[in-house]
Amino acid sequence: MARRSKENQALFMLIVGLLAWLVPGAGHFALKEKKRSIIIFATIVLTFCVGLYVGSIGVIDLVGATPWYVALAQIMNSPMVALLGRLTTGGAYPVYGWPNEIGQIYTSTAGLLNLLCIVNAVYLAHLRSAETAGG
Flag whether pLDDT at 135 surpasses 60. no
Flag whether pLDDT at 88 surpasses 50. yes
- First-last CA distance in the chain: 14
The rounded distance, in Å, linking the Cα atoms of 41 and 119 is 15
- What confidence score (pLDDT) does residue 130 get? 77
The rounded distance, in Å, linking the Cα atoms of 107 and 55 is 10
Tens of pLDDT, residue by residue over 21-69, are: 999 999 999 999 999 999 999 999 999 999 999 998 888 887 777 776 6
The rounded distance, in Å, linking the Cα atoms of 6 and 53 is 45
The rounded distance, in Å, linking the Cα atoms of 120 and 82 is 23
